[in-house]
A and B are shown apart, each in its own frame.
Chain A
Amino acid sequence: MQTAVSIEEARRIEAFLYLEARLADESRYEEWENLVDEDMYYWIPLAPDADPQRNVSVTADNRKRLATRLAQLKTGVRHAQTPPSPMRRLLSNIEIERSANPKVAGAQEYAVAANFVCYELRAQSTRQLEVWPGRVEYGLRAHGDSGGLKMFLKKVMLVHASEPLPTLAFIL
């Protein structure tokens, strides 16, 4: 059950999404991690309706594993991202709703969805341009009086998740 949001809320949420996208594009992992809440789940399933308890995923990071992933990227010897891939992604078709049944009781949470396409140059090996299209669902939560947002879910549903995928060591 979800309800509509005000224009001000929508603008604030869109600004958050664009910042998150830009930090990921630029491999700015410390700043990106600041956008993430303590119960974060970063998930790239093989199919939109997959069940992570029964189906293997491309990526299924809880908060701890995500922290390890980011730490690995920051070692300087993560060959699959050395050098980091230059990337630019576009977000579109953004739809925002306020959660009537938030994950954290009493919290102001939003269910957000968008289409995206990310262009990635595989600078570490083939130097070919990869195109990563899909739909992304975010779970966002407002914190404190200022209403600052944190992300507790990023579910990335690649159009071609079930097909052979090139190496994907960055944050999609």
Chain B
Amino acid sequence: MAAIPDSLSAAQPRADGAVNYDELIQQDRIHGSLYTSEAVYRDELQKIFYGGWVYVGHESEIPEPGQFVRRTIGEEPVLLVRTRDGRPTVLKNRCAHRANLVCMEDRGSARSFTCPYHGWVYGLDGKLLDVPYPNGFTRDRNQYGLPVLPLVDSYRGFIFASFNPDAGSLRDHLGNATRVIDRTIAMSPTGEIKLTAGWVKHKFQANWKMLPENDTDGYHVNFVHASFARVIRSQYDAAAMTAEQELKSRTIDWGNGHTEIDFAPAYPGELAWLGLPDASRYPDYVQAMEQAYGHERAHQLLHDGPPHTVIFPNLFLAEMNIVIFEPRGPNECVQWHTPLLLGGVSDAVNDRIMRQSEGALGPSAFLLADDGVISERQQIALRSGQAWLDLSRGEQREIVEADGSRIGHVTDETTNRGFWHHYRKVMTR
């Protein structure tokens, strides 16, 4: 084994001033400066958030023409809008004249967007429609719209976009993750999900990459969530908190930075993922699932439950929640969450999903409050940027599947290695 190089020298930029990602990201360890460096953060905005595909929103948030939601991609304010012809589009939320936000509301319905600074009016497709006192402005108005992101595409209602026209196809970016999204949708007997309950936003004084890493780390559960386990019997007892040899759940690296903890093999029965011993509380849901999918598949779905999967870089299919990661500089990030409400089920089922969401995620939750504090302690310990973080756990017992995915023990760092492997590829493009 090679001697560990001096951590200081590894953090130095190359002669051309660029960050040396090949040295900072190795197979079995990563350098702390990746979490603290302003230069790395600026690079990530360009290459990950403006250079590739990112998740923006869901069709159910903007069902009607004219409806919009405000989002942030990287640090760029954007609007996800359903245009008059029913197509979702993503516009920069910045007036082409003097760079004012044209829309301050988080969500709403509009016929057009009027900049409150000098009254420029834009259509839902971003086109400049009107300029007050027109005689003084003689330029070509077609050059002055709200910029439309060149790539907007969706997969089963999940809308992604890219600032980069050369980012390739969404299907290529999602790769194996399309099957994961299929599993999320399949929790509804009608294949409909509704992200209509609003978003809770939880702020971490920590680097954004700690969110995808922690969210698919099965090793921490027994320790970070010890207080939860002592007061609540949950599906995680069997899935992540028993002895190493007894744990049946798995970590999965799907490729392209998409990573999962697959709890299903450890679930003792149906609806364990709703915190229930069996499906007897919701016979109407069971019946609707049987009618939709047939007996065998329905009961498989009711047993296996929804995925627990991060889709690179900013979407987390968090069981019965949808989560978005928002970077805010090297030392701060925000985790957004909303419950995954289902179409075709009773209000009682969706109420259970809503209450479970509040119990698990957000600033006061039984789980995420503890993850948040641990991430912040990591960020404090990493402040100098001069450290190495180990990623080696389970290297020797990983299994490679025919579709290229890698499977690990639930406590192994298969997921984090998968994240960093893809990250390095993107950052050195």
Contact = CB atoms under 8 A, between A and B. Distances in A.
Interface of A: 44, 46, 50, 52-60, 65, 68-69, 71-73, 75-80, 124-126, 128, 162-169
A124 B227 CA distance: 15
Contacts of A75: 226-227, 230-231
Nearest to B228: A72
B380 A167 contact: no
B359 interface: yes
Interface stretch (B47-55, B211-219, B364-372): B364-372
A163 B364 contact: no
B358 A68 contact: no
Interface in B168-206: 196-205
Interface stretch (B92-100, B303-311, B349-357): B349-357
Given A125-B377, A165-B203, A55 B364 contact: no
Contact of B358 (A50, A59, A73, A124): A59
A169 B197 CA distance: 22
A72 B230 contact: yes
Interface of B: 106, 196-205, 224, 226-228, 230-232, 334, 337-339, 347, 351, 354-355, 357-359, 362-364, 366, 369-370, 372-374, 376-377, 380
B102 to A, nearest CB: 20
A75 B205 CA distance: 25
A125 B374 CA distance: 8
B372 A80 contact: yes
Given A46-B198, A53-B351, A164-B203, A79 B106 contact: no
Nearest to B339: A56
Contacts of A79: 224, 227, 370, 373-374
Given A46-B200, A68-B366, A79-B224, A124 B373 contact: yes
B197 A54 contact: yes
A44 B374 contact: no
B231 A68 contact: yes
Nearest to B376: A125
A166 B227 CA distance: 20
Given A166-B203, A167-B202, A169-B364, A77 B230 contact: yes
19 contacts: A54-B196, A54-B197, A56-B199, A58-B358, A58-B364, A60-B355, A68-B366, A71-B230, A75-B227, A124-B373, A125-B373, A125-B380, A162-B106, A162-B201, A164-B203, A167-B364, A168-B363, A168-B364, A169-B363
Contacts of A71: 230-231
A166 B366 CA distance: 14
B357 A69 contact: no
Contact of A78 (B199, B200, B363, B370): B370
B206 to A, nearest CB: 9
Contacts of B334: 164
Contacts of B359: 65
A65 B198 CA distance: 22
Given A53-B347, A79-B373, A164 B201 contact: yes
B363 A166 contact: yes
Contact of B198 (A53, A56, A166): A56
Given A55-B198, A56-B339, A58-B362, A167 B369 contact: yes
Contact of B366 (A55, A69, A168): A69
B31 to A, nearest CB: 23
Contacts of A73: 227
A95 B78 CA distance: 42
B197 A55 contact: yes
A50 to B, nearest CB: 8
B364 to A, nearest CB: 5
Contacts of A167: 202, 204, 363-364, 369, 372-373, 376
Contact of B369 (A56, A65, A77, A80): A80
Contacts of A166: 203, 205, 363, 372
A86 B347 CA distance: 40
A169 B370 CA distance: 8
Contacts of A80: 369-370, 372-373
Nearest to B378: A125
A163 B231 CA distance: 30
Contacts of B227: 72-73, 75-79
A48 to B, nearest CB: 13
A165 B370 contact: no
Nearest to A52: B354
Contacts of B205: 125-126, 128, 166
Contact of A165 (B196, B201, B230, B376): B201
Contacts of B197: 54-56
Nearest to B224: A79
A122 to B, nearest CB: 8
B345 to A, nearest CB: 14
A165 B368 CA distance: 12
User: Would you list the 3 A-B pairs with minimal beta carbon distance, nearest first?
Assistant: A125-B376, A164-B203, A80-B369
Contacts of B231: 68, 71-72, 75
Contacts of A126: 205, 376, 380
Given A56-B357, A78-B227, A125-B376, A72 B366 contact: yes
Contacts of A78: 227, 370
A126 to B, nearest CB: 5
A29 B338 CA distance: 29
A44 B106 CA distance: 20
Contacts of A59: 358, 362, 364
A43 to B, nearest CB: 10
